[in-house]
Amino acid sequence: MLRFVVRRVLLAVLTLFAVSVITFTLFFAVPSDPAQLMCSKDCTHEQIEQTRDALGLNDPIVTQYTDYMTGIFVGRDIGKGEAKVRCDAPCFGYSYRDNESVWSNIKDAAPITLSIAVGAWIIQTLLGITIGVIAALRRGSVIDKVAVGSTLIGASMPVYFFSAILLLVFVYTTNIIPRPVYTPLLDNPAKWALGMLLPWLSLALIGYANEARMTRATMLETLSEDFVRTAKAKGVPKGQVHRRHALRASITPVITISGMNLGYLMGGAVITETVFGLPGLGKLSVDAVSTLNLPIVMATVLIAALAIVIMTMVVDFLYAVIDPRVRLS
């Protein structure tokens, strides 16, 4: 078991390393000149050269990469001579536009994304599993058909269209719900929830579809397994057969999808944040991309990848906990 955990963690670290190298190379090896971007229009050539030098942009890319990674883990000094600034760990550099530290941008945006992600994830997972199980148990009935139909609609609905519909109907037209804003959870939980309601719904009412479809499919498959028949032959009551025997065995693939979804959501609900104008990580990266503000983009990609890799790992561990057959291999 310990070997399994250690190997899995090492693999995750290696994966993140690869992601960081690829992203870094792509972003920092391109011709667009950050020094130019940081200068105002009438920068002299010398000034640009100075900035380049100060940012270390004239160093070989390997040096730049190691500097960058060192900054994340232990902090580093940016710039040379008098302009030198100490950037504490985790240091993702400074925004090209306003010279603010990238980390402080991220610290401001993360709670918003986290609020959206966790809330939406809880709703969609509960909804997805419940609807999937009910549909499977009532296979072929009207309830099943309605459930399958609704998941098809969910799976076909583009988030940007659906978010906009919610906004148009509940905010602009009827004014039932105020325009989503972020209030920190600890300041006012009710206001926090109200402000997050539409983003949650816009993600969860679409995201549940996959989980429900997966749950239904695996549940149907499990219901025809031999061990479910054995349970019935033992005299286990129907409800227990479904809960304790069938659901238990069919939940594993659902956990995979659900866990991965949480990972992707935590990386930033790009579209939802954009449509509702919530300054989370997704919105931060969209805005940064439009101004080619690479340090911020780089940081958001890395953080999103971190969330995904961690969730993949968690899912693998959960697998091992749930399925005794995994432990041995």
Partner 1 sequence: MSQTKSSGPYLSIEDLKVHFKTEDGMVKAVDGVSFEVSEGETLGVVGESGSGKSVTGMSILGLHDPKRARISGKIYLDGTELLHLSENKLRALRGQAMTMIFQDALTALHPYYTVGRQIVEAYRLHHNVSKGTAKTRAIEMLDRVGIPEPGKRFAQYPHEFSGGMRQRAMIAMSLVNNPRLVIADEPTTALDVTVQGQILDLLADLQKEFNSAIIMVTHDLGVISDIADRVVVMYGGRVVEEGTAVDVMSTPQHPYTWGLLNSVPTLHGDASEDLRPIPGNPPSLLNVPSGCAFHPRCQHSLGKGSACETEIPQLLGINGAPNHVAACHLPESTRRRIMETDVRKVEVA
Partner 2 sequence: MAGGADPDPNEPKEIVGRSPGQLAFRRLRRDRTAVVSGFIVAAIAIIAFGAPVISAIYGQDPTTPNPDLLDLDGRPLGLLNGVSGKHWLGLQPSTGRDVFMQLVYGMRTSLIIALIGSILTIAFGSVIGAIAGYFGGKIDAVINWITDVAMAFPFLIFALAVVPVVGSAIVGDEEVPGPFVRSAMLMGIFIILGWMGSARLVRGQVISLREREFVEAARASGASNFHIIFKQVLPNVWAPILVTFSLLVPQLITTEAALSFLGVGVPEPTPDLGRVILDAVNVMQGEGMWFYFLCAGGVLFLLVLTFNLLGDAVRDALDPKSTR
Contact 217, 144 (CB under 8 A): no
Q: Outline where DSSP puts E strands in the chain.
A: 76-78, 85-87
- Residue partners of 187: CB distance under 8 A and separation at least 6: none
- Cβ-based burial of 280 (10 A; exposed 0-12, middle 13-18, buried ≥19): buried
- Count other Cβ atoms within 10 Å, centred on residue 240: 11
Taking the C-alpha atoms of residue 72 and residue 214, their distance in angstroms, rounded to an integer, is 38
- Residue partners of 246: CB distance under 8 A and separation at least 6: 219, 222, 223, 225, 228
Q: What x-and-dash track marks residues 102-141 binding partner 1 by CB under 8 A?
A: --------------------------------------x-
Shortest Cβ distance from residue 305 to partner 2 (Å)?
Answer: 5
Shortest Cβ distance from residue 53 to partner 2 (Å)?
Answer: 21
Considering Cα of 244, then 249, then 251, then 256, what sign does the dihedral take?
A: positive
Near partner 2 in 46-75, by CB under 8 A: none
Query: Does 239 help bind partner 1 (rule: CB under 8 A)?
Result: no
Question: 3-state class of 165 per DSSP?
Answer: helix
**91-111 residues labelled b (16+ CB within 10 A) or e (exposed):** bbbbbbeeeebbbebbeebbe
Question: Partners of 42 in the beta sheet?
Answer: none
Stretch that binds partner 2, among 40-48, 107-115, 124-132, 146-154 (CB under 8 A): 146-154
Query: Does 7 help bind partner 1 (rule: CB under 8 A)?
Result: no
> Considering beta carbons, is residue 3 or 325 the nearer one to partner 1?
325
Shortest Cβ distance from residue 152 to partner 1 (Å)?
Answer: 22
Near partner 2 in 159-198, by CB under 8 A: 159-161, 164-165, 168, 172
Stretch that binds partner 2, among 14-22, 180-188, 244-252, 319-327 (CB under 8 A): 14-22
Contact 147, 216 (CB under 8 A): yes
**Residue 229 binds what, of partner 2, partner 1, none (CB under 5 to 8 Å, by partner type)?**
partner 1
Residue from the set 3, 41, 45, 325 that interacts with partner 1 by CB under 8 A = 325
Residue from the set 31, 60, 239, 324 that interacts with partner 2 by CB under 8 A = 31
Q: Report angle CA 66, 72, 76 to the nearest 5 degrees.
A: 70
Shortest Cβ distance from residue 185 to partner 1 (Å)?
Answer: 36
> Considering beta carbons, is residue 179 or 248 the nearer one to partner 1?
248
Shortest Cβ distance from residue 136 to partner 1 (Å)?
Answer: 13
Contact 181, 197 (CB under 8 A): no
**Which positions touch partner 2 (CB under 8 A)?**
11, 14-16, 18-19, 22-23, 26-27, 30-32, 139, 148, 152-153, 155-161, 164-165, 168, 172, 216-217, 220-221, 264, 267-268, 270-271, 274-275, 282, 285-286, 289-290, 292, 294, 297, 300-301, 304-305, 307-309, 312
**Which positions touch partner 1 (CB under 8 A)?**
140, 225-227, 229-238, 245, 248-249, 322-325, 328
